[in-house]
Amino acid sequence: MQEKQAWAGSGREPFAGAVADGAAEPQEPMTVSILLRRRSQEEFDRRMALVHAGTSVPALSRADFAREFGADPAQIAIVRGFAQEHGLRVVAEHAERRTVVLAGTVAQFNAAFGIQLQCFRHARGSYRGWTGPLQLPKAMHGFVESVLGLDTRPQARAHFRIRENVVARAASASFTPLQVAAMYGFPAGDGHGQTIAMIELGGGFTASDLASYFANLGIATPPSVVAVGVDGAANAPTGSASGPDGEVMLDIEVAGAIAPGASIAVYFAPNTDAGFLDAITTAVHDTTRAAHIVSISWGGPESSWSAQAMTSFDQAFQDAVALGVTVCVAAGDNGSSDGVASGEHVDFPASSPNVLACGGTNLQGNGSTIAKESVWNDGTGGGATGGGISANFALPTWQSGLSAKLSSGASETLAKRGVPDVAGDADPQSGYNVLVDGQSIVVGGTSAVAPLWSALIARINGARGTPVGFVNPALYTALGAFNDITQGNNGDFAAAKGWDACTGLGSPKGAAVLATLTK
């Protein structure tokens, strides 16, 4: 038996308010994902530094990435030996994703990691978890990045708001995705040849709803939409528009209407940190569908994540950067607090410096003309765009020297990653007309902005003939490519000229964004 040591930082505290409900059933079957560090880390870090500095670095093919920066086969073998020692089965090895998936019982994983898995009851649902650090063999301390799947708490929330669930104002309006794209001056094109991967943690879509929706918009050839199951999840519509189906259909219909020439692959996974990450790494490294863009409309406050999980997610987004894949992520719908009882919090994974964080506005206009645009903030009951300053991620090169304007009128120089990067229509009061479970509804939330920007990137990629990849450094040097939002606040932060912690650089002037990314 290999000697084990406590792995610093590997513990998880229960949800606030969770009630312990006894030991987990010893014979309950479960799976766990072990994430390994990549080979040639120094060389990979050098590439990332160049990309973040705005230097043009050719994207790697998925085959080249796996060979150069995947997991070391010798380290996978050590994990295999650890599993054998504890009677665990290796059910999958993904060198390119640096992931080894183990299966066994609660009792076996308790023994393997020196913990006692417990059951917890909470308002968000019952889950399995533990407290205290994991115990790992000395040989594994140097290369294991995270162990996910032991804790099964619901990790993320969908960032959409149905207007019927929010008190409508007299000035309320609604738009089709094509009308929003027209007001933002999106360049011509349909995203032909592009693949948009969407990450979903519940719910599903129906082909009949999609066919009806796109036909009613006059789209003769709708996008190809395929469901991909991850970790046992599948396309599973609930029949309730207010549930996760609302998120799934919003994502597909917004992106698919604007970029109908693109293929859309919807990756369904369990709503746990392990499931969420496995969906992202599967989408990023999928050689069959080979996504050019990943759209994510789920997340939660940074404070609700383990340090291990955030590191592994950020590493997955770095993989996307290296592969030339653009990742668009919703910035959250609960203002500067992100729904936490006190203080300022930003949403993760939007706060990763390797994604394009998408905030929200209220959009008023007609045809191709914007009459007014301000920060989305409908108050505590109606939601507001997320945004603020990360407590976990260092200040990116491309945000150096920026300040966040506070609602008090003061300014705070960014010392860490600022969120969001960009914005778009998100207010349910100026929301999107969508069809969910046979019901025509108006939906908003920053969940709409991630697929909106994903569709814009798909059109731009199609016009360029090559993927733009990681766009943040270029966008931060092209303020003329945005409608600068200078009115409103999201709680503690206020809109301001230039970048702000409510709407980032602003909403897109689509043709100008294309010109910026084609230089």
Catalytic positions = 247, 251, 447
Half-sphere exposure of 353 (CA within 13 A, CB side): 22
**H or E element: which one contains 321?**
helix 307-323
Q: Please report, for residues 150, 164, 373, the alpha-carbon distance to residue 493 in angstroms, rounded to integers and kept in the order given.
A: 37, 27, 17
Tokens of 49: 């530094």
Strand partners, 224: 263
Closest CA to 245 of 296, 304, 291, 205: 205
Task: Answer yes or no: are the C-beta atoms of 211 and 248 closer than 8 Å.
Answer: no
Tell me how far apart the alpha carbons of residues 349 and 310 are, in angstroms, rounded to a whole number: 8
Handedness of CA 246, 247, 249, 254 (dihedral sign): positive
Tell me how far apart the alpha carbons of residues 516 and 40 are, in angstroms, rounded to a whole number: 33
Q: DSSP readout, 3-72?
A: -EEE-TT---PPPTT-EEEEEPPTT-EEEEEEEEPPSSHHHHHHHHHHHHTT---PPPPHHHHHHHHS--
Q: State how beta strands 347-348 and 173-175 pair.
A: unpaired
Tell me how far apart the alpha carbons of residues 173 and 151 are, in angstroms, rounded to a whole number: 42
**H or E element: which one contains 435?**
strand 430-436
Closest CA to 205 of 234, 233, 179: 234
Among all chains, which residue has been given the structure tokens 């607090």?
337
**H or E element: which one contains 403?**
strand 403-405
